[in-house]
Amino acid sequence: MLTHSEAFSLQGSLALVTGGGTGIGRAITDALVKAGARVVVAGRRREPLEETAAAYPGKVFACTYDVTQEQEAGNFLKRIHSELGTPTILVNNAGIHLKKKAEEVTAEEFRKVLETHIVGAHALTAASIPLMREAGGGSILYIASMASLFGIPYVVAYAAAKSAMLGVVRTLAVEYGGENIRVNAIAPGWIETEMSRKAMEGDPERKRKVLGRTPLGRFGTPEDIGWAAVYLCSPAARFITGTCLAVDGGISIGF
């Protein structure tokens, strides 16, 4: 039987977090490290990755990587495996947002959003699975969205990608559960990040409406998502796969 500390410990694990240098990704990285994991943070911009690595010497490692260059996923994972060991935790967090009327979204814009959230993430997942299999199992976590669960205007490409993500999660969970590879998602609600602040800027009425629909009556913090990620990747969640955990203050069940 696991003790409390053992159940939530990630000691000895190596995690890969895309978009791990800023916002929710940074909070996930912070929480994984505090739970005992070493973390590779990957993204296109070197500076935030290096800042994150500098905060945790010997625990966090910065690697520039563009998830839309899916043909590089295999080599990227091989390099991590060779230099640091086997990543048994993968957090597909990197993404882009597009806010536009549906009729104005071009095919190229739609495709770019899907390539980032779905195709690019899948390339890393596919490259990670053989390594996890060899290690005896692992945990794959996708960062979904409220747009995965209900309709939100002006984000048709983003909503399509985040909704597709849940189908991917369920399919992978069924396909690889027998190999002790668990696959889950987190759907964050309104979280206090630079992106959400920009979305609310100059629109106090929108903020009032969001808080009015949130039973807990507040915005979430990136840390709320970080600790949820630790839970789903830890032994405490060893019998959980194929699910989407809404970390949203209850907004998805509101009126």
86/247 Cα distance (integer angstroms): 29
231 is catalytic: no
pLDDT of residue 255: 61
Question: Which among 25, 22, 159 has a CA at the least distance from the CA of 99?
Answer: 159
> How many other C-beta atoms can be found within 10 angstroms of the C-beta atom of residue 41?
32
How far apart are the C-alpha atoms of 147 and 135, rounded to whole Å? Answer: 34
**In sequence order, what are the residues at sequence separation of 6 or more whose Cβ sits closer than 8 angstroms to the Cβ of residue 26?**
20, 48, 52, 222
Query: How distant is the alpha carbon of residue 207 from its chain centre?
Result: 25
E strands along the chain, which residues?
Answer: 14-18, 38-43, 60-64, 89-92, 138-143, 181-188, 244-247
* Cβ-based neighbours of 102, under 8 Å, separated by 6 or more: 154, 156
SS3 of residue 93 by DSSP:
coil
pTM of the model: 0.95
Which residue carries 């010497």 as its tokens?
57
> How many angstroms separate the CA atoms of 192 and 166, rounded?
24
Q: Which of 65, 158, 176, 231 is catalytic?
A: 158
| Rg of the chain in Å (alpha carbons) | 18
Rounded to whole angstroms, how far apart are CA atoms 123 and 121?
5
Which residues of the chain are under the pLDDT cut of 70?
Answer: 255
Give the pLDDT of residue 139: 99
pLDDT of residue 65: 96
Task: Using CA atoms of 222, 227, 232, 236 in order, give the dihedral in degrees to the nearest 10.
Answer: -170
**What is the CB neighbour count within 10 angstroms for residue 193?**
21
Superfamily of domain 4-248: NAD(P)-binding Rossmann-like Domain (3.40.50.720)
Looking at the DSSP bridge assignments, the partners of residue 140 are: 90, 183
What SS3 state is found at 170?
A: helix
At position 57, the amino acid (one-letter code) is P
